[in-house]
Amino acid sequence: MADAGKEKKPLVSGYLMSTQFMELDGCTRCQECMKWCPTFDVRQDRPGITPMYKIAKFRELLGSQDGLRAKLFGSKPLNEDEINIWKDDTYMCTTCGVCGTVCESGINTVELWEAMRPNLVARGNGPYGKQSFFPGLLGKDRNPFQAKQSERLCWVPEDATVLESEKIAYFAGCTAAYRQQALGVATVRLMNSLDIPFCMLGEDEWCCASALIRTGQRPVMRDHAVHNVDALKERGVETVLFACAGCLRAATIDWPRWYEGYIPYKTMPLSAYLREKVRSGDVDWKRPLDFKVTYHDPCHNGRHLMHVKGRDWSFEAPRDILKSIPGVQFQDMTRSREFQRCCGAGGGVKAGIPDLALDCAKARLDDADLIAADIIASTCPFCRRNIMDGRAALTEKSDVKIVDVVEMMAAAMGLDTTIPDNPYMQYQEQDVIVCEEVCEIETIERKAEGKDLVGEAH
Amino acid sequence: MADFYTLGLTYWRVIALTVLVLGVWIYGLYFMFKKWGMGSTGYQDELRHSFWLFIATWIHQAFKDGVWVFVKTLVLDILLLRRTLRRSPVRWVMHMTIFYGFITLAALSGFGLLLDTIIHFNILGYAHQAEVIFDMMALPFDIFGYMLLLGSTIGVGRRIILREVRARTSAYDAVLLGGVFLITITGFYAQWMRGNSFLVGDAFAYPIYAPHFALVHTILALALFAIILPWSKYQHLIAAPMTILANRGGE
């Protein structure tokens, strides 16, 4: 009787394109996705989180409302418990996209998951846990760290040259600006040493808002996309460089969907740009980095963009840089490039289901341990952060370090990447390369407790 | 030929049944496309609920990268199942043999019905020639039948032998594979009962009941492939290739 008169919420499917409805019926249930899914790999007791089961459940729910039987005899009442389990399953996914890569039916799974989630949000079931803070944080602070926009460039060394406007722009992203400033400093130093004039948006750089899209919370996205595109256009930018895979993905695929005007610039991974400098002989290596290095392909720069930017930019450019650094002994992990294992942080999992993110990170560390790597290099601050967190959560200590490709390059070029004193020094947490006689890697752990409401956001 | 019409069925009744099944099948396809048409035509676009706009959206996506990409995808990913081959050669053999076995047998059956019509009405006086051609079709029927048998045996075997695959098999999968396997087996048995089969000769010949069994097989085939196609896993026969084409070969 408690439910008497209470209106039952209908199933919402309005964010799906018609071809995505078709994709639901295109699944052949070959189970290939289950072999590759990084979250299922660490949650074997939850087959429901795998693509095959998620699709089957959604198809079943849709069928109960719009199938032939529903048309003839009326739709079945929805079971809220079932919907909530399906919601959990849908959010226990990093949207890494490996399922789409191996799918026999060629289902574009990333887009499908990202179209399912807004329906759950619209229905009041989603998002998951702390993911619900994202719209408020971004709407208010324009970044997920509750940091001041006016301090976006507080880490830039005084003697560094960053222009107000230029044809090339460096979009640093929130993590490099507030939490992994070593990456930002290394990038600026490197660009200066190679005599590349570039600008940054500073206070006008708003979060790429990737987390909103990934978690199905679309409304605030438009503001961020439109603002960032306009800010880049106003500065006359022709090429935007990204050292953050999540920002690159959002700027390349998501922003244009929300921006109605012409976008005159092209987006480019910083690694691809710097590789050209290495190839042209502009880079002067000063020191060897005597480490065994492997490369972790970020999903956002790899699988998500390989058909947009090409495999060369997505997979080979960072590897080529690493291989060109003197002293580096490079070896790929068993799962690499389009078959790479996701670090576990994406799709809002880091914020919403942190223990799942950590378990995925541990699995990735195991991959690196198998080849006895000293360093996991990457081009995504978010992957870096999560793999470091996974390392910290290991019961047996791991000596594997996690460093950005740009920082390795800066170290081998003998650049000073000291972070100038700034209000966010106490929140830095990263492995940094320290070079004196020889180069070593130190882990900075100065993170203040309880500062980040939702961790980082992609 | 005339032996086929047994158990009270006549040529006209079979034709009427076929037309009815085709009608249900076409309505099923329409229903399926209409269901897909519930979605929007673009990212953040409004919902359409339109059969025609689904078709338009699909065409737009399939040809987004040009005709050449469409043709390449059609040949490599649909006709040659490249994506399946990359992941599992065993599943590739299964799909290829079922796909080409089924398609060819369906085409041969359709052609057989055409020949039967020519024989029945002696159209243009070609009844005799049509009968000769009809008899010649026994061999291709056998070859593609064995092909289908191989594929469906792999399919059923995989679901039974591989522990993990078996554990995750649902009624949705069982209806598809069980149906294919049942039709294949009944088809073979119907052929063997006639007593002139490729490989087994007349070892299973039972001419009195052969027409009855052939009819059972035909009705099963019509029922399983045509009537339930749009409402079961059989819909992947249409949805999967259309998905691959819409995504220009996929990721």
pLDDT above 70: percentage of residues in chain B: 92
Top-ranked range on mean pLDDT: pick from A305-314, B98-107, B203-212: A305-314
Segment 162-181 of chain B within 8 Å of chain A by CB: 164-165, 168, 170, 172-173
**Which secondary structure element, helix H or strand E, spans residue A402, and what is its range?**
strand A401-404
- Asked whether the predicted pLDDT for residue A179 surpasses 50, the reply is yes
pLDDT above 90: percentage of residues in chain A: 81
pLDDT above 70: percentage of residues in chain A: 95
SS3 A375: strand
- At residue A361 the predicted structure's pLDDT band, cuts being 50, 70 and 90, is very high
CA distance A210 to A228: 13
Structure tokens belonging to residue A130: 């702390």
In a domain, B251, yes or no: no
Q: DSSP assignment, residue A171?
A: E
- At residue B6 the predicted structure's pLDDT band, cuts being 50, 70 and 90, is low
pLDDT for position A448:
52
Closest by alpha carbon to A27, among A64, A52, A61, A58?
A52
Which of B36, B48, B77 is facing A106, going by the closest CB pair? B77
CA distance A233 to chain B (A): 24
CB A297 within 8 A of CB A316: no
Number of domains in chain B: 1
pLDDT for position B215:
80
Query: Does B61 sit within 8 Å of A257, measured CB to CB?
Result: no
Query: Does A16 sit within 8 Å of B172, measured CB to CB?
Result: no
Tens of pLDDT, residues A6-43: 457 888 888 999 999 999 999 999 999 999 999 999 99
CA distance B164 to chain A (A): 9
- Asked whether the predicted pLDDT for residue B251 surpasses 90, the reply is no
A248 φ/ψ angles, rounded to the nearest 5 degrees: -60, -45
Q: Which of A13, A17, A36, A113 to mutate to test the interface with B (most CBs of B within 10 A)?
A: A17
- Asked whether the predicted pLDDT for residue B186 surpasses 70, the reply is yes
CA torsion sign for B26, B27, B30, B35 is negative
Structure tokens belonging to residue A73: 């005899």
Rounded mean pLDDT, B168-189: 84
Tens of pLDDT, residues A393-449: 988 888 899 999 999 999 999 998 889 999 998 888 888 888 887 888 878 765 555
Residues β-bridged to residue A440 = A434
CA distance A358 to A378: 17
Tens of pLDDT, residues A57-85: 999 999 888 888 888 888 888 889 999 99
Closest by alpha carbon to A25, among B231, B80, B94?
B231
CA distance A374 to A390: 16
Which residue would you say has higher pLDDT here, B218 or A210?
Answer: A210
SS3 A170: strand
Q: Using alpha carbons only, give the angle A107, A121, B61 rounded to the nearest 5 degrees.
A: 30
Which of B35, B54, B244 is facing A106, going by the closest CB pair? B244
Which of A27, A97, A105 is facing B244, going by the closest CB pair? A105
In a domain, B77, yes or no: no
Structure tokens belonging to residue A263: 């976008």
CATH number, position B239:
1.20.950
Rounded mean pLDDT, A124-138: 91
Residues β-bridged to residue A266 = A239
In a domain, B78, yes or no: no
Residues of chain A contacting B173 with CB distance shorter than 8 Å? 29
- Asked whether the predicted pLDDT for residue B196 surpasses 80, the reply is no
SS3 A432: strand
Tens of pLDDT, residues A225-244: 999 999 999 999 999 999 99
DSSP labels for A118-139? Answer: HHHHHHT--S-GGGGGHHHHHH
Rounded mean pLDDT, B86-106: 93
Which residue would you say has higher pLDDT here, B179 or A304?
Answer: A304
Burial class (CB in 10 A: 0-12, 13-18, 19+), A150: exposed
pLDDT for position A457:
53
- At residue A125 the predicted structure's pLDDT band, cuts being 50, 70 and 90, is very high
- Chain A interface residues (partner B, CB cutoff 8 A): 13-23, 25-32, 34, 47, 52, 56, 62, 66-68, 97, 100-109, 218, 257-258, 303, 306-307, 338
pLDDT for position A5:
41
Which residue would you say has higher pLDDT here, A171 or B227?
Answer: A171
Closest by alpha carbon to B177, among B158, B204, B191?
B158
Rounded mean pLDDT, A314-332: 97
Closest by alpha carbon to A305, among A380, A201, A216, A232?
A380
* Residues with Cβ within 8 Å of residue A412, at least 6 apart in sequence: A285, A286, A287, A288, A289, A325, A326, A327, A439
Give Cα separations from A457 to A119, A220, A223, A348 (angstroms).
21, 14, 17, 7
- At residue A327 the predicted structure's pLDDT band, cuts being 50, 70 and 90, is very high
pLDDT for position A1:
40
Query: Does A106 sit within 8 Å of B47, measured CB to CB?
Result: no
- At residue B3 the predicted structure's pLDDT band, cuts being 50, 70 and 90, is low
Which residue would you say has higher pLDDT here, B174 or A155?
Answer: A155
Instruction: Find tokens 């100038």 and name the residue.
Output: A420
Which residue would you say has higher pLDDT here, A163 or B7?
Answer: A163
Residues β-bridged to residue A401 = A375
Rounded mean pLDDT, B43-58: 84
pLDDT above 90: percentage of residues in chain B: 31
- At residue B22 the predicted structure's pLDDT band, cuts being 50, 70 and 90, is confident
Where does chain A hold its CATH 1.10.1060.10 domain(s)?
Answer: 18-126
A197-211, A295-309, B32-46, B144-158: the lowest-pLDDT one: B32-46
Closest by alpha carbon to A274, among A337, A316, A330?
A316
Query: Does A66 sit within 8 Å of B38, measured CB to CB?
Result: yes
pLDDT for position A446:
53
Q: Which of B31, B34, B35, B82 to mutate to test the interface with A (most CBs of A within 10 A)?
A: B35
Structure tokens belonging to residue B36: 């897909």
pLDDT for position B2:
46
**Which secondary structure element, helix H or strand E, spans residue B105, and what is its range?**
helix B89-121
In CATH, the architecture of A18-126 is Orthogonal Bundle (1.10)
A67-76, A197-206, A293-302: the lowest-pLDDT one: A67-76
Range of the domain at B95: 2-36+88-246
pLDDT for position B233:
78
